Structure 1
Amino acid sequence: MTHGESHKLASVKPILRIYDFVISSGQVGIDRLLKANIFSPMEVENSKIILMGNTFIGQNDYEFDATSNYLLYAPTWEGGVPEENYSSVDYAAAELIANIARDHQINNIIIQPHPNLGHRDSSYVVVFQNMLLNLEKAGLTIYVKKSHVSWKEKWMFFNKNIHLKNASSQKVRFALVDLSAMEVQLYAKKIPVGVFCHRNIQNLFIPKFLKHDYVFDFQGHDLALNVKDNTHLAHVNERKLNYFIGYHDAKLEHLNFADRIRWLCSYCSALKYEKLRQCFEQY
C-alpha cells in the first residue's frame, strides 16, 4: 500500500519495487506508477498491482447533501521536505474559499487540517490561524475539526464564529482539498471535490486520463483551484470516480473489510506460489 492514494511524489517512490505486490484503489494507481516508470506494462499484466477499491484509502465522516449549507476545506501539511509541500495553507486560499462560498450561497465552512500541519515549518500554524480569522471576517461560520485545542487558540478565537471542535454537521455540498489522499476518500463518498495547487509544484504524477480534470488557471496568482465554473462542484464526475475506485475482482465491492483481507491474502499467496513454480520450471 503506497502513501495514501494521491498524485504526490510520495505515492511513486522507487522503493515500491522491493515488494511482491502493490495495492491501488483503481486504474489511477496503475497509470500513475507507469508514468513514473516504477513498473513496466509487463509487470502490470502479471498482477504486480492489485486493485482493492476503497479498502485502504482511509475513511472520513462526511456525507454528500446537495442542499447542505456546508462546504469542507481539508488542507494537507507542508510535507517532510520542501519538495513535497502540497499545502494550500495560504492567505490566497482563504480569499478563494470565501469567494466560492459566496457564489454558492454557503455560510458554514468545515475545516479539517492535516494533523501534521506545522510539524516541519511552524509558520504554517500561524498562517492557518490567520486564515480562520479572515474567513470569519468574510461573514462565514467556521468549524475546525481539531482533537487538541490550546489555551492560546481559545483566547485568539474567543467571541468569534470559529468553533475548534468537531463540526455540528457532517453533511456537505462539496469539498475543497489539496493534492492529497483526502481527494479520493471524498470521491469514494460521491462528494464533489475541487483541488488547490501552487504554481511552483513540480512533483506531480497525474495520469493523462485526468489531464482535463486538473486545469489550474493561476491568473497571475501563486495558488489556483481546478474549478472552471460552479457546475464543477455540483456533482461527482462518474468517469473520474470509476477511474479512482476499481476492483481486481467484482465481488470485492460487496465484501466487508475482513473478507476483503482474507481474499487478498489468499490471492497473493496463490499467485506468489505460482510464480515461484514457474521460476523453478525454468531451471
Structure 2
Amino acid sequence: MASKPKPSVTSVPTGGAVLPALLSRPYPAVMGVVNVTPDSFSDGGQFVAPEQALAQARKLVAGGADIIDIGAESTRPYGSQPVSAEEELRRLKPVLADVVALGVPVSIDSMKSEVVAWALDQGAVIANDVWGLQRDAGMAALVAARGAPVIVMHNRDRADPAIDIMQDIADFLARSLDIAAKAGILPDRIVLDPGIGFGKTPEQSMTALARLAELSSFGLPVLVGASRKRFISTVVPSEPQQRLGGSIAAHLIAAQNGARIIRTHDVAETVQALRVAAAIRDQQ
C-alpha cells in the first residue's frame, strides 16, 4: 500500500493570515509544546531523539493542537544551562521539517535571531521570544523583515517579591512594543505573554493570572502558558507530571480573563476543558 502523503506546508497560513485564523473561534487556540531539550523542567530528555519528538508532535496534533511550539533550549528558571545557537540548530535540524509537514502552524521557541531565521526558512511561521525582543538586538528587525507573527513574553532575571508584578509586566511589554514599532513589526502580528513562572514568585504568577484582563489595555491578543508550572505545587504539592488538574484550572481562569492562546503540554485534555467551558457559557 502506498504511504500516505504528508500534508503540504502551503496549506498553513503565514504572515498576517496566521493570527486571524487562530483567533477566529469562541474558545482559545491551543499551542502544544515539544521540547527537544535534555533539561526542560517537565519533559526534559523525553523528546531529544527526533523520532520521539515527531511522535509527540503527532500526538499533540491528533489531540487538537492548533499550533506546535518547538524549542531546543530550556528556559526553566532554575537549573537550565544556556546553549549556543549552533547547539539549538543541531537539536532542531533532524526534526523541524517533519513537524512542519504535519500541517499545523509551527512556532519556534528561541531567543536567538539566528535560530529563528533558520526555523522560518524551514517553514515555521511564528517566533516565540521569551525575552520579548529585548535580549537579541536583531530579533525585532528579523521578525519585521519576515512579516512573521511574534509572541512577546515578559521576563526578569530574578523574581522580586517586593514589586507590583502587573506594573512590571506592563512596563516591560510597553518597552517591547516600542522596540517592535521602531523595527516596523505590525501590531496585528504581535501576541503578548505575561510569562507565568518566569522571573516571578509563585504568588506573582497567580496574581498575573487573576489580573490578566488588565493586559487588554494593550489591545492585543494574549497567550498564557501555565502548564505544569511550579506555582501549582505551592497550592497542592506535586511533581510537574502530576499537575494536570492545576494546569487546566489555571488555563480556564486565563481564558475567562481574556487569553486567546493557551500553551500546554497536555493538549487533548486542555482542548476538551476549553471547549466544554465555552459550550456551557453559550447556554447562559
Instruction: Give your verdict on TM over 0.5.
Output: no
Return the TM-score normalized by structure 1: 0.33
Larger RCO, structure (CA 8 Å, separation 6 or more): 1
Return the TM-score normalized by structure 2: 0.33
| Higher share in helix | 2
**Structure with max Cα Rg:** 1
